[in-house]
Amino acid sequence: MSPSPNYEFQEWWNKQRTDNEQSDHHLLQKSAFLTVDIQSPTSAAAKDRSRSARQLSWIYLLKFHQITHTVAFLTNGFISIICTANRRITTASAVPRFESRFYKIIKFFLFISVCLLIFELVAYFKGWHFSPPTLESEVEDLLEYVYAKWLVTRANYLAPPLQSLVNVCIVLFLAQSVDRLVLVLGCFYIKLRGLKPVAEMDNEQDDETGGGNVDNFPMVLLQIPICNEREVYQQSIAAVCIQDWPKEKMLVQILDDSDDTDVQSLIKAEVQKWQQRGVHIIYRHRLIRTGYKAGNLKSAMNCDYVKEYEFVAIFDADFQPAPDFLKRTIPYFKGKDNLALVQARWAFVNKDENLLTRLQNINLAFHFEVEQQVNGWFINFFGFNGTAGVWRIKALDDCGGWLERTTVEDMDVAVRAHLCGWKFVYLNDVKCLCELPESYEAYIKQQHRWHSGPMQLFRLCFVDILRSKVSFVKKANLIFLFFLLRKLILPFYSFTLFCIILPLTMFLPEAQLPFWVVCYVPGLVSILNILPSPRSFPFIVPYLLFENTMSVTKFNAMISGLFQLGSSYEWIVTKKLGRSSEADLVAIVENESTPMVESGIPRSSSESGLPELNRLEMTNKSLKRRRNRLYKKELALSFILLTASVRSLLSAQGIHFYFLLFQGITFLIVGLDLIGEQVS
């Protein structure tokens, strides 16, 4: 049965046609009137033009003056920009061979992307995107034949292997996402059940009584490894020396590896100041500085007097433990002879300093709140963070002590202790103040060491893991979760999927990357990562984009560590600025005042910790100068992603276009060093 005619629509259509015809008629009348008016010049108009000749000459002179002024202004501005860029932009003088090779590969992909984009733009404007030419039909010119041949080649030979790689990366991505989800669920379980480690304490060692019997306190060695860290040595030494622990039961070792004689003199003076206050503190400086931090700690542990001590607490030069740090960590060792390590959580004094520190805080909050806590509670193993931890010296000796074979000596000794059967405890409620790197240059150097070192260690200890006497579950956790999934697969798929495969799928549309892989799953993973720091939720989009940007550094470090390429064994001390919160400085000053009064030593104004640290902070601020470095790999990748975004715009792929556009802009911002604090 045919549908009944729609008379209302017919009436509306007729009315629209009538209105359009009337509007067209009025337009024709207006154009005719204008034509007549223009084509009939009058003598009065010519008279006016003859009268305004002198006025026109002045107008031309004024315009010429404006043009010359504009050219001069633009020239001065251009010269000023060049001078500023020359003053602020620096490039690395020596680039490792592997990094230069890696950069050449990225440049090759950029060249291919630009060529393909130009080719696709020509095809788009010729209409071949809407009616693709084929080899069977007649082609008009050589370019059309080449494009038809390209379509067949990419569909039959290039897209299938790329699609296979896409599928592999999607599987790895989903596996890593499931791992994150399981960790978050485990953290929720710990929070809901109120689970936390329990310490056995004597009444004499309770915080309220203060430990009436000194003999009940074990001997503790406190170590501070330092290397040319002028900005932070003072506050770290002060925080360690005011520990609420019997002075005769603790010894502070200042392990100075500085090659700057001025820094050595400053640290020696600081040590002498605390020695005068009755603190057992010694200064050590190695003549042969091999093995970086591991060699420094190994040399200190070889001293004869170390045998008298039962525990050793390690703090990096920028860490400031609270006065009750030892009283809140040492009691967990009592009654647990198989406990090797008590690890405290890091807290950051400058987490809100700039966007870079905020994004770092998200990652490290998830690491400590979720990863360390879940692994510590369920399997009694996690990677030692290298600082803010207390080791049983017997456990260190049992697993071979500090080794210099990798740049992650902390993870190395933790894995070996775990294979020897020792257990670890993580304390999420015991926090130790420290600093985050505020410049991108310092941050990528730190991340390079953190991601190349685990691959060095995995290559060296893989056989030891298989031969160890631990259970099969612990071996599988070490190999598949601790090393492969979280240290190798994560940087591999993050860089390959979002920086290489996604742009290639824009030029090879026969290989499809589902939109949920680009949008939904990364968004869900970012939400999981940001849960431990809920105040950072407004930064979830910058966090997602920045993590993908950092994947190039992490992937480069992972490959160099796995295959011993480039600068995998390079150790560069992370640049810190010596920031401290005002409350911490006041607490140090208040604690410093007590022993000075008791010992009767006169206290000069220059010995106050607060004026010294404030003066040091002002000196740092006055010496700061903004400088930018150009990061070539990030810049090249930004151009790859931006060219791919233009190609996706031709195909009307909305989600892919926006992701590529914003990711390319993020790479560009990072490549120009416009994130974080630039410090000379």
Nearest to 613 by CA among 570, 666, 577: 577
HEC assignment per residue over 300-342: HHCCHHHHHCCEEEECCCCCECCCCHHHHHHHHHCCCCCEEEE
Residues 198-202, mean pLDDT to the nearest whole number? 74
Residue 501, both tokens: 């495969």
Q: Residue 676 carries which DSSP code?
A: B
Q: Which residues contact 564 (CB under 8 A, 6 or more apart)?
A: 456
Q: 284 with 253: CB under 8 angstroms?
A: yes
Residue whose structure tokens are 């930064």: 539
Mean pLDDT along residues 420-425: 96
Q: Taking 90 as the threshold, does the pLDDT of residue 161 lie above it?
A: yes
Above 70 in pLDDT, residue 96?
no
Q: Model confidence at 540, in pLDDT bands (50, 70, 90)?
A: very high
Residue indicated by tokens 């770290």: 236
Cα 518 to Cα 497: distance, rounded to the nearest angstrom? 9
Going through 527-680 in order, the beta strands assigned E by DSSP cover 628-629
Q: Give which of 371, 293, 304, 380 is closest to 340, Cα–Cα.
A: 380
Contacts of 110 (CB under 8 A, 6+ apart): 636, 639, 640, 643
What are the tens digits of pLDDT across the range 575-599?
A: 777 676 444 544 544 554 444 333 3
Residues 6+ apart with CB under 8 A from 547: 363, 494, 526
Report how far residue 375's alpha carbon sits from residue 383's, in angstroms, rounded to the nearest whole number.
Answer: 9
Q: Could you say which of 257, 316, 584, 673 is catalytic?
A: 257
Which of 329, 314, 300, 456 is closest to 386 using CA atoms?
314
Q: Residue with structure tokens 């090779």?
A: 101
Q: How far apart are CA 33 and CA 591, in angstroms?
A: 94
- 260 assigned to active site: no
Q: Which is more confidently placed, 432 or 127?
A: 432
For the chain, what percent of residues have pLDDT higher than 90? Answer: 62
Phi, psi dihedral angles at 346 (to 5 degrees): -90, 140
Residue 131 C-alpha from the chain's centroid? 46
pLDDT for position 57: 78
What does the alpha-carbon distance between residue 313 and residue 521 come to, in Å, rounded to a whole number? Answer: 41
CA distance 435 to 120: 49
Comparing C-alpha atoms, which of 386, 440, 447 is closest to residue 412? Answer: 386
What string of DSSP letters covers 503-537? HHHHHSTTS---HHHHTHHHHHHHHHHHTT-GGGG
- CA of 376: how far to CAs of 201, 371, 443, 552, in Å? 21, 8, 27, 30
Residue 41, pLDDT score: 46
The band of 676, judged by pLDDT with boundaries at 50, 70 and 90, is confident
Instruction: Please compute the mean of the pLDDT values over residues 329-355 and round it to a whole number.
Output: 94
Least confident of 327-331, 568-572, 661-665: 568-572
Query: Do 396 and 301 meet the contact criterion of CB atoms below 8 Å apart?
Result: yes
- The answer to whether residues 432 and 388 touch, using CB atoms and an 8 Å cutoff, is yes
Taking the C-alpha atoms of residue 239 and residue 592, their distance in angstroms, rounded to an integer, is: 10
Among 85-89, 346-350, 502-506, which is the least confidently predicted range?
A: 85-89
Which 3 state secondary structure label does DSSP give 628? Answer: strand
Lowest mean pLDDT among 212-226, 339-353, 632-646: 212-226
> In the predicted model, is pLDDT for residue 168 greater than 80?
yes
User: Does the pLDDT value for residue 219 go beyond 50?
Assistant: yes
Distance CA 568, CA 562 (A): 9
Q: Tell me the C-alpha distance between 567 and 456, whole Å.
A: 12
**Tens digit of each residue's pLDDT (9 = 90 or more) over 561-579:** 998 887 667 777 777 776 7
Distance CA 450, CA 516 (A): 30
Interval 27-48 mean pLDDT:
45
Q: Does the annotation count 304 as an active-site position?
A: no
- Look at the alpha carbons of 523, 525, 529, 533 in this order and tell me if their dihedral is positive or negative: positive
Phi–psi pair at 91, nearest 5 degrees: -125, 155
Listed residue (166, 186, 274) closest to 224, CA to CA:
274
Whether residue 213 is predicted with pLDDT greater than 90 in this model: the reply is no
Query: Residue 217 — φ and ψ, nearest 5°?
Result: -85, 130
* Mean of pLDDT values over 617-641: 74
| Digit-coded pLDDT (tens) for 116-127 | 999 999 988 888
What's the rounded mean pLDDT across residues 289-300? 91
Residue type, 240: V
**Minimum mean pLDDT range among 9-13, 57-61, 444-448:** 9-13
Return the number of other C-beta atoms located less than 10 Å from residue 421's C-beta. Answer: 15
Angle 545-374-371 from CA coordinates, rounded to 5°:
25
Three-state secondary structure call for residue 3: coil
286 pLDDT above the threshold of 60:
yes
Which of 256, 316, 318, 410 does the annotation list as catalytic? 410
Q: What's 90's DSSP letter?
A: E
DSSP string covering 379-437, please?
TS-----SSSEEEEHHHHHHTT----SSS-HHHHHHHHHHHTT-EEEEEEEEEEEE---
Q: Is the pLDDT reported for residue 418 higher than 90?
A: yes
Pairing of strands 250-256, 89-90: unpaired
Backbone φ and ψ of 504, nearest 5°: -65, -35
Higher pLDDT, 463 or 56: 463
**Torsional sign, CA 319, 341, 381, 428:** negative
Radius of gyration of the chain measured on its C-alpha atoms: 34
Higher pLDDT, 203 or 188: 188
Give mean pLDDT, residues 299-311: 94
Which one is predicted more confidently, 297 or 624? 297
Distance of alpha carbon 454 from alpha carbon 135, whole angstroms: 52
Determine if residue 400 is left, alpha or beta; phi over 0 gives left, psi from -120 to 50 gives alpha, anything else beta: left
Q: Tell me the whole-structure pTM to 2 decimals.
A: 0.81
Q: What is the mean pLDDT of residues 674-680?
A: 66
